[in-house]
Amino acid sequence: MSVLVCFHAHPDDEALSTGGLMRKAADAGHEVHLITATRGEQGEPKPGVLSDGEELWERRVLETAESARLLGCATNRFLGYEDSGMIGEPSNDNPACFWQADVEEAAQRLAEILREVDADVLTVYDAHGGYGHPDHIQVHRVGLRAAELAGTAHVYEATMNRDDIVAAMEHMEDPPVGEGDEKPGDNIGMPAAEIRYQVNIADQIGPKRESIRAHRSQISDDDFFLKVPDDVFAQMFSTEFFAVTGDGDVGGPTEVELLPGL
Ligand SMILES: [Zn+2]
């Protein structure tokens, strides 16, 4: 049995980015922990979701706990920073936001948890945070440093296969809409040649989609991830991709049952 820690920026990132891996690791008997840097304060709540006087972050804490349960996590916790919002927003200047956090200080907070749970494997994001969100870039920086401090043996960067996405976009009638300035395509993830591993999570696709659905304050049945038919969703999201820091061209991802270290 090994210990997997998945470090994410906001509530709901865990669902789409590493949800299948988390559930698959848990199903295989490993201990899985979710750590989320922020409570997603800058998210846009769906109309009518919040009760009178309820703050978005309060709801998102509950949604994250439910998502973590669906993904088989032993624990889920927050690192205690605030959501920085999309790049260029005034919220980037909030001194309490994750983007403004001192990397060393934040890494020490995370390293403390890595030591406590005796983590064997940590997942972060690729160097540009998958699509350039400041909090996602910070997950990369803070995560790598924390693993160094805690001596965590294996660190993987959750990413997306840019080649697959660009190809899929060319065939889509109803492409997903990016967040903010995000344009699906060239600025997303990493080229396949630079991705070390891929994990098939077809057997975990149900829980993965349910964990997305758990984030009801952010997503409704009309939104792409919940609207597409099950078979299309499975086709698009049954593989999760992971890079290793410092790799250059490795000739494309190798399929593994679970990431080395698990
Ligand atoms: Zn995010």
Each residue's pLDDT tens digit, 155-204: 999 999 999 888 877 777 776 665 555 556 778 899 999 999 999 999 99
Q: How far is the CA of 83 from the centre of ligand 1 (A)?
A: 9
- CA 87 to chain CA centroid, Å, is 18
Give the model's pLDDT for residue 131: 87
Query: Helix (H, G, I), strand (E, B), or coil: what is residue 50?
Result: coil
Of 3.40.50.10320, 3.40.50.410, 3.30.360.10, 3.30.930.10, the CATH number of 3-256 is 3.40.50.10320
3-class secondary-structure state, position 91: helix
Per DSSP, the three-state class of 38 is strand
Question: Angle formed by the axes of helices 13-27 and 205-213, to 10°?
Answer: 140
The pLDDT score that the predictor gives to residue 183 is 56
Q: How far is the CA of 144 from the centre of ligand 1 (A)?
A: 18
Please enumerate in sequence order all residues whose Cβ is within 8 A of that of 23, keeping only pairs 6 or more positions apart, or say none: 70, 71, 72, 201, 204, 207, 208
Q: Which residues contact 96 (CB under 8 A, 6 or more apart)?
A: 81, 82
97-121 pLDDT, tens digit each: 999 999 999 999 999 999 999 999 9
- CA of 64 relative to ligand 1 center, distance in Å: 13
The alpha carbon of 22 and the centre of ligand 1 are apart by a number of angstroms equal to 17
Q: How far apart are CA 150 and CA 167, in angstroms?
A: 39
137 CA to centre of ligand 1 in angstroms: 10
CA angle 120, 125, 131 (to 5 degrees): 170
The domains of the chain are located at 3-256
Distance 85 CA to ligand 1 centre (A): 9
Output the CA 115–ligand 1 centroid distance in Å.
Answer: 25
Report CA(9)–ligand 1 centroid distance (Å).
5
